[in-house]
Amino acid sequence: MGRAQRILFVSAEAFPLAKTGGLADVCAALPKALARLGCDVRLLVPGYADALGQLCDPRVVAELRDLLPGTDVRLIAGTLPGTALPVLLVDCPVLYCRPGALYVDADGRDWADNARRFAVLCHVAAWVALGRGGDGWRPDVVHAHDWHAGLVPLLLRRSGPSAPPSVFTIHNAAFQGNFPLSEADSLGLPADVLDVDGIEFYGQLSFLKAGVRFADKLTTVSPGYAREIQESEYGCGLEALFTARADDLTGIMNGIDTELWNPAADPLLPCVYSIDDTSGKAACKSALQHEMGLRLDAQAPLVASVCRLTHQKMSDVLLHALPQMLDRHPRLQVAIHGRGDRELEAGFLALAAGRDDGRLAVHIGYDEGRAHRLQAGADILLQGARFEPCGLTQLYAMRYGTIPIVTRIGGLADSVVDHDGAFHQEGATGFTFDHPSCDAMLGALHRCVDLYAADPAGWSTLCRFVMSRDSGWSRSAMTYLNLYGKLAAANQAYPVAAVELPARVWTDVSTTQATAPRQPRTATVREEREGAMPLMADGWQRG
């Protein structure tokens, strides 16, 4: 039997070290699933203050001076909390340890040096990929995630023939990492890629386009999204490039961490329950009503919304639909948990403040424990989206016996089968609607609530059925494993010495230094405000 495949994951976030959304969940859960299949996986993440504070068994393994002009970094090895998964943190406090959120300051503005922050992550990834990460470990494949790691495939292509092949996963094509072309030199990018056939994107440089252009293989987080991004409506200006690379593009459905999201053993719930004994879900509902300030009513259909309050997530439509849904169903309760656009936050708070009937609760912010309790205590999850690459919230809901109502788009369409209203319908896992409109959302909600009220036995059967659905990572992890294997087999091996390295000083301290990492000075805020990147038509030319 050959040795285990070595895979380096590169991501801006990974739960619980740093999280703004589903990217963090995927980049923690998928490596763990791959490790269970026998892979040797390591995860490279920026050394945010929270990450430095949570990393288990930290030790400095390498130092790189002048990685980019004036930028020194340390590489700190450890393990992901609660696991044996190896983690490498890029320790550079001037870039990563600061107040605010991961990508924005306390006022919601993008950090002015985001290009440099994530270029550093990418350059370190390229060095680790060439065996200079402190212990000589070299991956067979580098798996880069979203725009923050988009320069990695480009840097590997320019590192010589011994560089490993790369996989680039597009989690959301709307977030592109577009920056002025004038920054290219300071980011260590060669001038000959700053054109339309490289990473130029209508007068800017694009981290996302770099990943799409130079990775050996591309994946998205659902089959539906892989098709959609080749269309102008969802390609965010890169649809021609996605189409040109269609033969290298695969949609692989995200899974969830079924150990973290397990109602039978969830320490964040007031009462656990399982598919064999769902009685604890009623206790979770009562506790949630108390926590959120809702009227205690065991029979009330309780709808939860757990998402960023943004245009993408149709929060504007939900805001307008709420009065109608509450009027149509006199016992209906709605609990909203999330943050996002300031105007939408204010709108939801104002709507809740104008009611005193204990049927609408709004919490602005994000708390992991409350997110778990909402999934367990709610009867229904409402998750609209104008586009949705995959979505994990609906998978969490089904795991907890909560019925999702979703827009039939992207990964939502791949994961939720519509219930047509027939009692005891087989195969259905939720309710769907086709258009991002108030009427369409209300229509699906009415169908769902009517079933809840008219057929308790059928509702209970539906809840148990969705709980039985396999939403874990085992199947998708095997698909990734096969993809890695084909890439590694096709990649011709060359000695490391054949690579021409830049004149920078990388010091291996793994055997000479066991210094603890710098202590974090501030705690990071784990929320993300939707980006304000202008999306423009791509100039990609196909001959």
Q: What are the tens digits of pLDDT across the range 317-354?
A: 999 999 999 999 999 999 999 999 999 999 999 999 99
- Does residue 538 lie in a domain region? no
Residue bearing the bigger pLDDT, 504 or 278: 278
Query: Same structural domain for residues 375 and 445?
Result: yes
State which residues form the domain around 168. 6-255+473-508
Query: Among 468, 485, 500, which residue terminates a domain?
Result: 468
Q: What is the CATH number of the domain that holds 146?
A: 3.40.50.2000
**Statement to judge: residues 459 and 489 lie in one domain:** no
- Contact call for residues 216 and 140 (beta carbons, < 8 A): no
82 and 224: one domain?
A: yes
Report the C-alpha gap between 252 and 220 in whole angstroms.
Answer: 6
Residue 62 lies in a domain: yes
Residues 344 and 486 in one domain: no
Shared-domain flag, residues 149 and 297: no
* Of the residues 416, 438, 468, the one at which a domain ends: 468
Are 170 and 208 a contacting pair, CB within 8 Å? yes
Shortest CA distance to 506 belongs to which of 90, 89, 73, 93? 73
Q: Which two three-digit tokens encode residue 117?
A: 């922050």
Instruction: Tell me, yes or no, whether 414 and 503 share the same domain.
Output: no
pTM, to two decimals: 0.86
Residue 426's pLDDT is 72
Please count the structural domains in the chain: 2
Residue at 503 is within a domain = yes
Whether the pLDDT of residue 252 is over 90: the answer is: yes
pLDDT tens digits, 489-503: 887 443 333 333 333
The predicted pLDDT at position 539 comes to 27
Stretch 186-210: mean pLDDT: 96
Domain-embedded: residue 133: yes
- Residue 250 and residue 230: Cα distance in Å, rounded? 12
Burial class (CB in 10 A: 0-12, 13-18, 19+), 425: middle
Q: Is 217 annotated as a binding residue?
A: no
Q: Are residues 494 and 428 in the same domain?
A: no
517 pLDDT higher than 50: no
Q: Tell me: the pLDDT tens digits for 356-385?
A: 999 999 999 999 999 999 999 999 999 999
- 474-490 and 22-36 are packed helices; what angle lies between their axes, rounded to 10 degrees? 70
Are 452 and 307 within one domain?
yes
Per residue in 390-440, pLDDT tens? Answer: 999 999 999 999 999 999 999 999 999 999 865 556 789 999 999 999 999
If asked whether residues 440 and 330 sit together in one domain, one would say yes
User: For position 303, what pLDDT does the model report?
Assistant: 99
- pLDDT of res. 514: 41
- Do 186 and 323 lie in one domain? The reply is no
Q: Alpha-carbon Rg of the chain, whole angstroms?
A: 24
Q: Which residues contact 483 (CB under 8 A, 6 or more apart)?
A: 167, 217, 219, 250
222 has a pLDDT exceeding 80: yes
Q: At 226, is the pLDDT very low, low, confident or very high (cuts 50, 70, 90)?
A: very high
If asked whether residues 73 and 210 sit together in one domain, one would say yes
> Considering the domain boundaries, does residue 342 fall inside one?
yes
Percent pLDDT > 70 in the chain is 89
